[in-house]
Chains A and B, each alone.
Chain A
Amino acid sequence: MKRDTFSLPADTGCGAPPAGKHTDVLRERGQREVFCGLTGIVWLHRKMQDAFFLVVGSRTCAHLLQSAAGVMIFAEPRFATAIIEERDLAGMADCHEELDRVVDRLLARRPEIKQLFLVGSCPSEVIKLDLGKAAERLGAKHAGQVRILNYSGSGIETTFTEGEDACLASLVPAMPKSAPDAAPELLMVGSLPDIVEDQFLRLFAQLGIEHVGVLPARTADGLPAVGPNTRVLLAQPFLGETATALEGRGAQRIDAPFPFGAEGTTAWLKAAAAAFGIDEMHANAVIAPGRERAKRALEHHRENLAGKRITFLPDSQLEVPLARFLATELGMEPVEVGTPYLNRKLVARDLDQLPESTRISEGQDVDKQLDRVRADRPDLTVCGLGLANPLEAEGLSTKWAIELVFSPIHGFEQAGDLAELFARPLRRRDVLQV
């Protein structure tokens, strides 16, 4: 069998930290067992409550969305697919007319919609249907009523959470320009469950950071301003394109590990506090109660998880920060940490804390990766829904990766819940006697 894996030297691009550990990365190219970027719609439409996501794609796209979301529950969600049919493929002019017709009908039916995302898919990209042009045309037509943007969630360009990255990046040009003399403002970027977002906003207020914006905003009119006074704090590690777009508008990114567990959250908050010149003693005082609660919550799970070996298959790009959390705060041993794309610049602080022995892999050749799982026999494998039961049937305990994307896991108050997500499959394995 042809060997198509090789090592690359660490990315030494602009702004990258000095190469530390984990300069050897196993890069693979083959079958990927991950969702495409369209899947992000499942959580993005919940976050942006006056937004509608219209996928321009095929029946496969529609079927993916309903299968990934377990959607049989409702009749009118705030996402839909404009399914391209045979007659649409005949001529491009026809396709744009059809799209206009679908959008007009949709907006007439849903007057509460204030933002409409035209979401590109594999078929729309391959036939080069210009959704940027369509968004511009339709945006002009519905100006004042609906903001119409576009991005691609296609599988040929985006892997799972990269769909959110593309969506948020599409919002950046629509953000107002902050005043030239505006005071420094913190911009928290990444869609978090409202409850988690509110916890963080309370902490920032207690720290004394007065101006805080959030991207994505919950409603269309809440889109924050951006400019050279903006300090960007990423709440999710998969937002490289969005960060670049914000930097393009003068914003500066605060380098920080990601806010998982007691330590990750502490470091993340402290990085923000430092960027705003907050007194360190004050910051410590604000952070201490939450941090202590998180540590206590984690203590319950430490006994079950310490020393256990874990492998992450590539899924959401959360793998590196989560492995860092499990290794440094719960004493787990990451065997292999696979990620669809390793953005060294963004995850450097987490990557550096992973044990030397951990194998880092980027991309996927699923069959070869499963061979490694079978050889490594970790106590727990974090993987997609398509792989979990087959691995369980082979006697390997698994954790659904997608739950890590859908559940509130960031911050102090969720640290215990996050540990519980990993502890439960192991506890279940021990408790069952059938």
Chain B
Amino acid sequence: MQLSVWTYEGPPHVGAMRVATAMRGVHYLLHAPQGDTYADLLFTMIERRGCRPPVTYTTFQARDLGKDTADLFQRAARDAYTRFDPQVMLVGSSCTAELIQDDPAGMAEAMRLPCPVVPLELPSYSRKENWGAGETFYQIVRHLADRDVRPAPRAEEGGGRVPLVNILGPAALGFRHRDDVREVRGILDSLGIDVNCVAPLGASPAEIARIGAADFNIVLYPEIGDSAARWLEREFKQPRTTTVPIGVGATRDFIAEVAALAGVDPEPALADGESRVPWWSRSVDSTYLTGKRVFVFGDATHAVAAARVAHEELGFEVVGLGCYNREFAREVRDAAKLYGVEPLITDDHLEVEDAIAAASPELVLGTQMERHIAKRQGVPCAVISAPVHVQDFPARHSPQMGFEGANVLFDTWVHPLVMGLEEHLLTMFREDFEFSDDAGASHLAAHSPSRRADHGSLLVTDVPASGLQAAATTREEDRASEYIRGDAEISAWTAEAEAELKKIPFFVRGKAKRNTESFAAEQGRAAIDLETLYDAKAHYAR
């Protein structure tokens, strides 16, 4: 048993729901007890979808166990088929149904439903949401792809057609998938490449059947699209891309990779005049970004991409890198080597919290959970990855991919930082009432490190996904008291040194305090006096 107070990923059948909900003409019959329908609200509330996910839950109860759960399943299957008239039905079990071993696949087959049925085996006690989404998409492709559909001859082969690709991976409840697809389509347009199908997002079973018509596959989110793409590579001889176009450098690499696979000139896409990051980053006002310590955590794909952008395109120092999905840990380990950091592969957010505290970053790039961790630690943060929150579905176009995606990353990561000029002003006027600790950074109340301001803002800015503020706020208070308890344990500061510490600008004070304390501990100094404070400063100078 694993003790969990919060989890980055849901169970694998939620991954299957993300695929079913993304597609058209698909219905998912889930053998599940009452209560599993909670997953519907992820789609209707967080993503604000205007229709229910295409899922029927068989809703068995304790009294059905051991007698007619199978009958219940078959009745639900018939009713769902009649009502929703799907072109394809997915059938599978949630965690509880897996234990009662009713064999949905066999039952559905025996029923001879008048549409194709894709059985899903998603082991709930060993796998999680992303794996479930990837497996479901792979099974759909495997069952539906028509092996007789192959690419038509290209222009140079006398067929008179442009290159054709599939875009694989985007799904429901994805982090900016909607906007990323638009950016990638724009790149393909400028290269003169046509899209055969985007899947699972918006795809119909008929489009999946014709997936073999494309020359190659573009994998945007390996977590969801890679299994299917690898199978298509093996069975349909369709090459697949391996670069995820997040950041300027990665977008250029992606364009080069796609152009090479398609046999076209990459130049029209590379010449995008809307790519502002290279100049914004070289512009002299960005100098203060140099060497900012950044901690990166998320799903493997977004975390690895963010680390590259942070390091190469903003001049940050990556002081921590990790992911919560073990299936892609290798990619994160390889990237961590590049930056000389220890990879953090864990789905325990308390471990992530400790790692962030230990790394003393100046910016955290993470999931919504890291946003809350960073807030408690008084560190600015930007969100780069799922699990998603209602705030991750902005009304405006806000991609992560392509050159416009890179522009978005620049703004989103730089704005939470105290700006260069403001940093100087705060140092100069720190005794001024407007720049007092409680005032915080003028432009961003939500990231103010002041404990009091932090809790005040929680009520306003942190409307939880399902709107149950009341429940959420008390728990933050629970936590706050623990922090205060934690602080009370350290008492070795002399009054003089403590007074000096207060003169340090508040946004670096936490780090200075932690550094000084660990330095004092390392050196075995009993009390922290002025001497220790400045010795520590010299020790950590960079």
Contacts and interface: CB of A to CB of B under 8 A. Distances in A.
Interface of A: 1-2, 30-39, 42-43, 46, 56, 58-60, 62-64, 66-86, 88-89, 95, 98-99, 101-102, 105-106, 122-123, 125-127, 154-157, 159, 367, 384-390, 392-393, 400, 402-403, 406-407
B44 A385 contact: yes
6 contacts: A31-B76, A68-B468, A69-B472, A74-B476, A80-B4, A387-B44
B50 interface: yes
B389 interface: yes
Q: Which residue among B6, B52, B466, B482 has the maximum number of chain A CB atoms within 10 Å of its CB? A: B6
Given A60-B95, A66-B7, A73-B462, A78 B124 contact: no
Interface string B106-124: 0000000000000000011
Contact of B471 (A67, A69, A105, A156): A69
Given A62-B6, A68-B468, A75-B376, 18 more contacts: A31-B76, A35-B35, A39-B35, A58-B96, A63-B10, A66-B7, A69-B471, A70-B466, A76-B5, A76-B478, A77-B478, A83-B4, A84-B125, A88-B1, A95-B1, A155-B36, A388-B45, A392-B50
B79 interface: yes
B6 to A, nearest CB: 6
Contacts of A390: 44, 49-52
Interface in B75-98: 75-76, 79, 82-83, 94-96
A88 B125 CA distance: 9
Contact of B1 (A60, A73, A102): A102
Given A58-B95, A60-B94, A385-B44, A71 B464 contact: yes
A72 B389 contact: yes
Contacts of A38: 35
Interface stretch (B57-65, B409-417, B516-524): B57-65
B466 A85 contact: no
Given A80-B3, A99-B1, A33 B37 contact: yes
Contacts, number: 256
B373 interface: yes
A392 to B, nearest CB: 8
Given A72-B465, A76-B5, A84-B125, A389 B49 contact: yes
A63 B11 contact: yes
B143 to A, nearest CB: 25
A367 B466 CA distance: 23
B38 interface: yes
A89 B11 CA distance: 17
Nearest to B3: A102
Contact of B44 (A34, A98, A123, A389): A389
Interface size class of B (residues with CB under 8 A): 35 or more
Given A69-B464, A74-B372, A75-B353, A125 B38 contact: no
B479 A75 contact: yes
Contacts of A39: 35, 38
A98 B36 CA distance: 25
Contact of A32 (B59, B124, B389, B476): B59
B369 interface: yes
Given A75-B376, A155-B36, A67 B466 contact: yes
A141 to B, nearest CB: 17
B34 interface: yes
B220 to A, nearest CB: 25
B38 A386 contact: yes
Interface string B484-509: 00000000000000000000000000
Contact of A105 (B3, B62, B123): B3
A199 B7 CA distance: 38
B38 A67 contact: yes
A132 to B, nearest CB: 16
Nearest to A82: B1
Contacts of A102: 1, 3
B341 interface: no
Contacts of A126: 65, 96, 99-100
A64 B466 CA distance: 12
A85 B96 CA distance: 13
B34 A34 contact: yes
A402 B468 contact: yes
Interface in B1-51: 1-7, 9-11, 13-14, 33-42, 44-45, 48-51
Nearest to B475: A74
A200 to B, nearest CB: 19
Nearest to A407: B470
A388 B51 CA distance: 9
A83 B3 CA distance: 6
B420 interface: no
Given A75-B349, A102-B1, A386 B41 contact: yes
Contacts of A56: 1
B149 interface: no
A339 to B, nearest CB: 14
B395 to A, nearest CB: 12
B205 to A, nearest CB: 22
A393 B371 CA distance: 32
B360 interface: no
B283 interface: no
A155 B468 CA distance: 21
Q: Which residue among A68, A69, A73, A387 has the maximum number of chain B CB atoms within 10 Å of its CB? A: A73
B368 A72 contact: yes
Contacts of A33: 37, 40
A19 B168 CA distance: 61
B468 A58 contact: no
A80 B5 contact: yes
Given A75-B350, A389-B45, A406-B470, A83 B2 contact: yes
Contact of A386 (B44, B82, B99, B371): B44
Given A84-B125, A89-B125, A68 B466 contact: yes
Contacts of A73: 372, 458, 462, 464, 472-473, 475-476
Interface in B386-418: 389
A419 to B, nearest CB: 19
Contacts of B41: 67-68, 384-386
B37 A34 contact: yes
B479 A125 contact: no
A114 to B, nearest CB: 15
B373 A159 contact: no
Contacts of B60: 156
Contact of A84 (B1, B5, B479): B1
Contacts of A392: 50
Contacts of B9: 59
B467 interface: yes
A122 B467 contact: no
Contact of A72 (B6, B39, B469): B6
B95 A156 contact: no
A157 B61 contact: yes
Contacts of A34: 34-35, 37
A154 to B, nearest CB: 7
A127 B100 CA distance: 9
Given A70-B466, A75-B5, A83-B1, A388 B44 contact: yes
B131 to A, nearest CB: 12
A385 B4 contact: no
